[in-house]
C-alpha cells in the first residue's frame, strides 16, 4: 500500500477534511490524514519547513505561501467558502441581526465580543472600525488564542457575543448561532488547497485535491456550514 498522504490545514476546515479523508480512504483506498491548527500557526510551520503533501488555508495565506515557493506551481485550487456568523451563549437573549443598525446595537450592547485569529478575525476588527465603533467597542474585543474555538468562550462565559466561521460555531454545546452578518457587513473567507512543495508524491496529492472539488466534497462542505467555491446558495 502507498504511504499515507499528509496534509496541514486551519481549524475552520478540520471537520470537512476529516470526513472527506475517511471517505477517500474507504471509497478510493487512499490513506489521507490532516493535522489542523490555527491558520497563522500552520503558515508559520510551513515557512519553518514542516513537511506535508497538501495544504488547505485561507486564500490570502495560501497565495502568500505560493509566492514564497512553498506550494507547487499551478496547484492552487479554491475549495470552499465560509461565512462569518454571529453567536451568543445558549439561553441568552438573541439580538436582532437583520440590518447594520441591528449589528451596531448588538456590538454596543455586548460586554465582551470574541473574535478569532486569522483573516476572518481581522475582518471583524476592520468592520468595527468601518462602523465607526472603534472607541466604544475596541476595549471590549477579546481575541481567542490560535486554534481555540471562539464558541468555547461563549460557553464558558468569557464572552457574550462572538464572530467566527460558521463551520467552527455550528453544533457547539452552549452556543446559539444567530446567523451571517447583514448586508455589506457580511464577511466570507475562501479556503484554498494546494500541493506542498515538500511533497515527495505531488501527483498523488494533486489527485486528492481534485477529489476535494467533487460533488461529494461539496455536499460534505454544505453540511458543515460552507459552500463549494463556484457554487451559489
111: in domain: yes
Last residue of a domain, one of 185, 201, 216: 185
- Count how many residues are written for the chain: 233
Q: Is 124 helix (H, G, I), strand (E, B) or coil?
A: helix
- The CATH number of the domain holding residue 181 is 3.40.190.10
Residues 31 and 101 in one domain: no
Q: Which cell goes with 110?
A: 455586548
Residues 133 and 166 in one domain: yes
Domain count, the chain: 2
Strand partners, 165: 84
27: in domain: yes
Residues 60 and 109 in one domain: no
Residues 91 and 167 in one domain: yes
Q: Backbone dihedral region of 194: left (phi > 0), alpha (psi from -120 to 50 degrees) or beta?
A: beta
45: in domain: yes
Residues 70 and 124 in one domain: no
The pTM score is: 0.82
201: in domain: yes
Residues 215 and 141 in one domain: no
176: in domain: yes
**Distance between CA atoms of residues 99 and 84, nearest Å:** 15
Average pLDDT over residues 75-83: 96
Average pLDDT over residues 47-58: 97
**Distance between CA atoms of residues 223 and 113, nearest Å:** 27
% of the chain surpassing 70 pLDDT: 98
Residues 10 and 58 in one domain: yes
Is pLDDT larger for residue 75 or for residue 12?
Answer: 75
Q: What is the pLDDT of residue 231?
A: 58
Average pLDDT over residues 3-26: 94
**Distance between CA atoms of residues 124 and 175, nearest Å:** 19
Tens digit of pLDDT for each residue in 164-189? 988 888 888 999 999 999 999 999 98
Q: What is the pLDDT of residue 170?
A: 85
Average pLDDT over residues 148-160: 91
48: in domain: yes
Mean of pLDDT over the chain: 93
Residues 89 and 169 in one domain: yes
Residue from 47, 62, 55 nearest 7 by CA: 55
% of the chain surpassing 90 pLDDT: 84
* Core vs surface per residue 123-140: b (16+ CB within 10 A) or e: bbbebbeebebeeebeeb
Banded pLDDT at 232 (limits 50, 70, 90): very low
Q: What is the pLDDT of residue 207?
A: 96
pLDDT for 38 beyond 90: no
Average pLDDT over residues 9-29: 94
Domain ranges, residue 121:
82-185
pLDDT for 101 beyond 70: yes
Residues 33 and 61 in one domain: yes
Average pLDDT over residues 2-16: 92
Average pLDDT over residues 71-95: 96
Q: What is the pLDDT of residue 233?
A: 44
Residues 126 and 61 in one domain: no
Residues 97 and 181 in one domain: yes
pLDDT for 214 beyond 70: yes
233: in domain: no
Other C-beta atoms lying within 10 Å of the C-beta of residue 93? 9
Q: Where are the beta strands (DSSP E) in the chain?
A: 5-10, 32-37, 54-58, 77-89, 113-115, 141-143, 161-165, 175-180, 188-195, 226-228
Banded pLDDT at 146 (limits 50, 70, 90): confident
Residues 210 and 157 in one domain: no
Banded pLDDT at 12 (limits 50, 70, 90): confident
Q: 76 — phi, psi (to 5°)?
A: -60, 130
Banded pLDDT at 145 (limits 50, 70, 90): confident
73: in domain: yes
Amino acid at each position: 500500500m502507498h504511504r499515507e498522504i499528509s496534509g496541514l490545514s486551519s481549524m475552520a476546515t478540520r471537520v470537512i477534511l476529516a470526513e472527506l479523508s475517511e471517505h477517500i480512504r474507504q471509497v478510493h483506498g487512499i490513506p489521507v490524514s490532516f493535522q489542523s491548527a490555527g491558520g497563522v500557526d500552520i503558515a508559520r510551520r510551513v515557512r519553518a519547513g514542516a513537511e506535508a503533501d497538501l495544504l488547505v488555508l485561507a486564500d490570502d495565506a495560501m497565495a502568500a505561501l505560493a509566492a514564497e515557493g512553498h506550494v507547487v506551481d499551478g496547484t492552487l485550487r479554491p475549495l470552499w467558502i465560509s461565512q462569518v456568523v454571529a453567536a451568543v451563549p445558549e439561553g441568552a437573549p438573541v439580538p436582532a441581526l437583520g440590518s447594520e443598525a441591528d449589528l451596531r446595537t448588538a456590538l454596543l450592547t455586548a460586554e465582551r465580543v470574541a473574535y478569532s485569529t486569522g483573516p476572518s478575525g481581522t475582518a471583524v476588527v476592520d468592520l468595527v472600525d468601518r462602523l465607526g465603533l472603534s472607541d466604544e467597542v475596541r476595549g471590549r474585543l477579546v481575541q481567542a488564542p490560535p486554534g481555540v474555538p471562539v464558541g468555547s468562550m461563549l460557553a464558558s462565559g468569557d464572552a457574550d457575543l462572538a464572530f467566527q466561521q460558521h463551520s467552527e460555531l455550528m453544533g457547539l454545546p452552549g452556543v446559539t448561532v444567530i446567523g451571517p452578518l447583514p448586508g455589506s457587513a457580511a464577511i466570507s473567507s475562501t479556503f484554498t488547497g494546494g500541493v506542498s512543495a515538500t511533497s515527495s508524491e505531488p501527483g498523488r496529492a494533486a489527485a486528492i485535491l481534485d477529489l476535494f472539488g467533487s460533488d461529494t466534497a461539496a455536499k460534505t462542505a454544505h453540511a458543515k456550514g460552507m459552500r463549494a467555491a463556484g457554487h451559489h446558495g
